[in-house]
Amino acid sequence: MATPVIMPRQGQSVESCIIGKWHKQKGDQVNVGDMLFTYETDKATFDEEATVAGTLLEVFFEEGDDVECLLNVCVIGEPGEDISAFRPEGEAEEAPAEAAKEEAPAAAAPAAVAAPALSDTAKDNVFISPRAKNHAEKLGVDVRFAEGSGPNGRIIERDVEALAQSGVAFTKAAQAAAAGSTDQFEGTGIGGRVTTGDLKKPVAQAVTEAMAAEEGVAYTDTPLTNIRKVISKSMHNSLSTTAQLTLNTSFDATEIMAYRKKLKANAEKLGLGNITLNDIVLYAVSRTLLEGHEDLNAHMLDDKMRRFNHVNLGVAVDTPRGLMVPTIFCSELKSLAEISAETKELAGACQGGTISPDLLTGGSFTVTNLGSFGIESFTPVLNAPQTGILGVDTIVQRAKEVDGEIKYYPAMGLSLTFDHRAVDGAPAAKFLKDLKNNLENFSVLLAK
């Protein structure tokens, strides 16, 4: 006789446990003492061992499912035994995906039937045929979003079919967990299915209303702009043709901050009040690259490395049309003030759409800054065929020991992505180390 295995209650206050891992699959032979599955409470992880031998006839829950204590989790018995009596309430018979697909073609000739509309809001009270209901369970769609096209607005099979094709699908666990909820969820699971994870982030009602305002259309098609096409192509090209690797570090920004403060305080006198921390980083990069890091000031071409004599520094600029990277040619020859001014000029031209195409090519290394958005570290994508790109991160307060005392200092992050085909990890790290050193001792660098 088939024996069900329940989700044990580990302590009086535990209402449910999450299944961690299945050690046996449906159909496996199980012996007494075999580990069936692990399960977790918010405090600990437990193993569930088989207490009877036989075949694992059915598994009612998947890994990651939150299972109410004492519910049947699986059934062990002899093949062919009827296990329907052990099925936890609400857990429908699961059909193989293939079977579901076979049934998928709508009963009515789809061409002749106006596509049933997708309901924009979830309903609490749903009239649905038993067949449509079962079909929905198999497909994992939430029938509360279906628009009934049957008599008296009854949801019938073809409505479920239409709903499945248009979107709102749930994983089994998510569907169970979301029962009763009228929120909309954004699906991030396979095929856009709503998973248990998605349940935690209901899309704002405003989105729903916005969708409703668009008369039920859930999206807008816009042709790609050329710049987006270029970005898309170059990004994809970059990631698919190079061997990218990112190193992260941070440096003590006390000195450059103090320096900038000084410039600001004397803005009227010096006329240098607009120099930003990013300008300072650009300056430091332009100087550091040629101090033995020529491999990063280079292009990785099919059969050769092209090392540049000058540091033609690309600067990533965010514009309404997309990312643009203008070039500060021969930056190593320019002063901090010149770099700063040119950067601003180039950025303005990019944003205004007046940038000369010539200035958008020819870079030998790129700097991109997401620090102003509070990004602490990221993975910049190489501007291929350049071999390196430096990401500039935000400043966070960190502690370090100075003379036996814990002192806080402003730490600015640096994220260097380099092409491992061209540069090994150690030289790249050395570049970062030198750059960090230059920035922490910026006055010395300026003096060089």
Partner 1 sequence: MPKSQFMDPDVLRQPGFVEFEPIPVNQYNKTIKEESKNFSKEDFMRIYRDMAIIREFEQMLLDIKTKSEYQGISYNNPGPAHLSLGQEASAVGQAYLLDKNDYIFGSHRSHGEILAKGLSCIHKLDDKELLADMEGFFDGATYRVVEGKEKDKGNVKDLAIDFLLYGALAEIFARETGFNKGLGGSMHAFFTPFGIYPNNAIVGGSATIAMGASMFKRINGKPGIVVSNVGDASMGRGPVWEALNMGAMDQITQLWEEGHNKGLPIIFNFFNNLYGMGGQTVGETMAYNILARVGAGVSPTQLHAERVDGYNPLAVIDAMRRKMEILNNQGGPVLMDTLTYRMTGHSPSDASTYRTKEEVDKWAEHDVLVNFEKKLVEAKVAKADDFAAMREDIRERMMKIVNLAIDDNVSPRMDLAKNPNIIADMMFSNQKIEKMEDRTPDVLIPKEENPRVQKIAKKERFGFDKNGKPVSKNKVYQLRDGLFEAIIDKFYEDPTLVAYGEDNRDWGGAYAVYQGLTESLPYHRFFNSPISESAIAGSAVGYAMSGGRVIAEIMYCDFIGCCGDEIFNQLAKWQSMSAGVLKMPVIIRVSVGSKYGAQHSQDWTSMCAHVPGLKVVFPVTPYDAKGIMNSALNGTDPVIVFESQRIYDVGEQFHEGGVPEGYYEVEIGEPDIKKEGKDVTILTIGATLYRALDAAKELEEKYGISAEVIDARSIVPFNYEKVLESVKKTGRIVLASDACTRGSALNTIAQNITEMAFDYLDAPPVVVGAQNWITPCYELDAEFFPQKEWIIDAIHEKILPLPGHVATINFTETEQIRKNKKGV
Catalytic center residues? 420, 424
Q: Which of 1, 85, 109, 426 binds partner 1 (CB under 8 A)?
A: 109
Distances (CA, A) of 200 to 19, 181, 182, 197, 215: 18, 12, 13, 6, 27
Q: Which of 132, 253, 349, 392 binds partner 1 (CB under 8 A)?
A: 132
**224 contacts partner 1 (rule: CB under 8 A):** no
CB of 94 to partner 1, least distance (A): 14
Q: Which stretch binds partner 1 (CB under 8 A): 105-113, 247-255, 303-311, 371-379?
A: 105-113
Lookup result for tokens 């291929």: 384
Tell me how far apart the alpha carbons of residues 57 and 75 are, in angstroms, rounded to a whole number. 5
What residues pair up with 6 in beta bridges, in sequence order? 72
Query: For residue 399, with 0-12 CB atoms within 10 Å meaning exposed, 13-18 middle and 19 or more buried, which class applies?
Result: exposed
Q: Which amino acid is at 309?
A: N
**180 contacts partner 1 (rule: CB under 8 A):** no
Binders of partner 1 in range 226-245 (CB under 8 A):
none
Binders of partner 1 in range 24-83 (CB under 8 A):
none
Q: Of 68 and 147, which CB lies nearer to partner 1 in the complex structure?
A: 147
Mark residues 319-338: x for contact with partner 1 by CB under 8 A, - for none: --------------------
**149 contacts partner 1 (rule: CB under 8 A):** yes
Mark residues 241-270: x for contact with partner 1 by CB under 8 A, - for none: ------------------------------
Q: Of 155 and 281, which CB lies nearer to partner 1 in the complex structure?
A: 155
Q: Which of 18, 19, 156, 370 binds partner 1 (CB under 8 A)?
A: 156
Lookup result for tokens 């035994």: 81
DSSP string, 265-332: HTHHHHS-TT--HHHHHHHHHHHHTTTT-GGGSEEE-SS-EEE-SS--EEE-EEETTEEE--EETTGG
Q: What angle in degrees, to the nearest 10, is found between the helix axes of 277-288 and 336-352?
A: 110
Tell me how far apart the alpha carbons of residues 379 and 246 are, in angstroms, rounded to a whole number. 6
Q: Which of 32, 44, 107, 212 binds partner 1 (CB under 8 A)?
A: 107
CB of 58 to partner 1, least distance (A): 18
Tell me how far apart the alpha carbons of residues 70 and 7 are, in angstroms, rounded to a whole number. 5
Q: Which of 134, 274, 377, 394 binds partner 1 (CB under 8 A)?
A: 134
Total Cβ atoms within 10 A of residue 116: 21
Q: Of 8 and 88, which CB lies nearer to partner 1 in the complex structure?
A: 88
Tell me how far apart the alpha carbons of residues 18 and 431 are, in angstroms, rounded to a whole number. 47
CB of 150 to partner 1, least distance (A): 6
DSSP string, 123-191: -SS--B-HHHHHHHHHHTB-GGGBPP-SGGG-B-HHHHHHHHHHS-BB-HHHHHHHTT--------SGG
Q: What angle in degrees, to the nearest 10, is found between the helix axes of 425-440 and 254-265?
A: 40
**297 contacts partner 1 (rule: CB under 8 A):** no
Number of residues that bind partner 1 (CB under 8 A): 20
* Cα Dmax for the chain: 93
Q: Which of 1, 79, 84, 111 binds partner 1 (CB under 8 A)?
A: 111
Q: Which of 130, 223, 352, 357 binds partner 1 (CB under 8 A)?
A: 130
Q: Of 127 and 329, which CB lies nearer to partner 1 in the complex structure?
A: 127
Which residues lie near partner 1 (CB under 8 A)? 107-109, 111-114, 129-132, 134, 149-152, 154, 156-158
